[in-house]
């Protein structure tokens, strides 16, 4: 699904370690737009960029694609591959979890999000992924629905409260 209005200079590529600080700022923009941030932005960006650098320099379960317009990073999508226990029924043995999918406000509406999501889904098709899961925002639901995502009735979750978590 390619949007006809996408910028001619749009490049979707795998993120590199050098993208970590910008990716951390995008993460802050995403999460602070959905609720009150309790950590100062500079502290968060430092902490998050460190985590992201580790994920980006060591091959592993996390993948991140970025969208560049005129060589400026304007969006990203993160995907975690979750290995399932082997199954004798011949089913795919991986889940994928999409997270931190964000396009800068000024770059929205031109097909960048569609291209990022398409790239992540195509990667899943070549990595024996059975299901892709995510937690959408109200605004992102229609994009996911266009790509065949649906609300499932066989998934359960338990949310632990702060006082349930032992540190």
Position 71 in a domain: yes
Residue 10 pLDDT > 60, yes or no?
A: yes
Per the document, the length of the chain is 167
Going by the DSSP 8-state scheme, the letter that residue 30 receives in this structure is H
The average pLDDT across 120-135 equals 94
Contact (Cβ atoms closer than 8 angstroms) between residue 79 and residue 117: no
Q: Output the domain CATH number for residue 90.
A: 3.40.630.30
- Token digits of residue 122: 């195509």
Residue 110, pLDDT > 50, answer: yes
Look at residue 77 and tell me if it is in a domain. yes
Average model confidence (pLDDT) across the chain: 90
Identify whether 3 is part of a domain: no
Q: What is the pLDDT of residue 2?
A: 43
Q: Is residue 164 part of a domain?
A: no
User: Which pLDDT tens digit goes with each residue over 27-51?
Assistant: 999 888 878 888 999 999 999 999 9
Q: Please report whether residue 91 resides in a domain.
A: yes
Q: How many domains does the chain have?
A: 1
Cα–Cα distances (Å) from 104 to 40, 81, 126, 128, 154, in that order, read 20, 25, 28, 31, 33
pTM flag (> 0.95): no
Q: What is the mean pLDDT of residues 87-112?
A: 91
Residue 137 lies in a domain: yes
17 is a domain residue: yes
Answer whether 125's CB lies under 8 Å from 92's CB: no
Domain extent at residue 110: 10-151
What is the pLDDT averaged over residues 82-96?
A: 89
Quote the pLDDT of residue 3.
44
Tell me whether residue 161 is in a domain: no
- Check whether 94 has a pLDDT greater than 70: yes
């Amino acid at each position: 699904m390619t949007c006809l209005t996408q910028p001619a200079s749009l490049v979707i590529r795998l993120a590199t370690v050098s993208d970590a600080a910008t990716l951390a700022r995008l993460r802050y923009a995403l999460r602070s737009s959905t609720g009150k941030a309790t950590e100062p932005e500079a502290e968060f960006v430092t902490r998050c960029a460190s985590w992201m650098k580790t994920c980006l320099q060591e091959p592993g379960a996390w993948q991140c694609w970025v969208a560049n317009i005129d060589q400026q990073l304007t969006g990203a999508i993160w995907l975690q591959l979750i290995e399932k226990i082997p199954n004798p029924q011949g089913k795919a043995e991986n889940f994928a979890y999409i997270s931190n999918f964000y396009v800068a406000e000024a770059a929205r509406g031109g097909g960048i999000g569609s291209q990022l999501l398409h790239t992540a889904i195509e990667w899943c098709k070549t990595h024996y992924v059975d299901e892709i899961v995510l937690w959408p925002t109200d605004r992102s639901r229609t994009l996911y629905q266009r790509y065949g995502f649906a609300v499932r009735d066989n998934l359960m979750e338990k949310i632990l409260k702060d006082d349930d978590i032992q540190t």
